[in-house]
Amino acid sequence: MSSSHTLRIASVPLARVVPLRTAILRGGNAAAAVWANDDHPQAVHLAASVGDDILGVTSFFPDPWPDEPTRSAWRLRGVAVREDVRGTGVASALAAEVIRRALTMAEPPELLWCNARTSALGFWRRVGFEIVGEEFLTDTGIPHFRAVRSI
């Protein structure tokens, strides 16, 4: 693969992740694709791209793990990958970058966690997350479980 076709993951402004979140996760509702912690001073928004073409996005920020709120934790949110590139490693590359960045923080969190779509549990297990608790529906009506990973 030439360097012009290399997947790159970089921090981007929130405005660069919202369009894919809107299309993939929120059925076209842009207002529902921006969340309260998006403007957290430590929030990181990542885009996986080839050239200027964004293939996948995620965000992560400090947020207590609901099962153990005294442990330091960061939450992943808005993991979205274009349908035409699913299964090609884009989501795995985003997860690896989140983990790498967490490990290299001045004060690394003890945990990373997310609300994982039930349909994506295999992915979350493959990238080292444990699925915990009972299935629940989010405000969008989509079934999820909590997933957590020690750092």
The length of the chain in residues reads: 151
Global pTM reads 0.92
Distance CA(109)–CA(51), nearest Å, equals: 32
In DSSP terms, 61 is beta-bridged to: 75
Model pLDDT for residues 33-68, shown as the tens digit of each residue? 999 899 999 999 999 999 989 999 999 999 999 999
The helix (H) or strand (E) run that includes residue 55 is: strand 53-62
Q: What is the mean pLDDT of residues 109-134?
A: 96
Distance CA(69)–CA(86), nearest Å, equals: 33
The pLDDT value given to residue 121: 96
The pLDDT value given to residue 18: 95
Distance CA(58)–CA(94), nearest Å, equals: 7
Q: What domains lie within the chain, and their CATH numbers?
A: 3-150 (3.40.630.30)
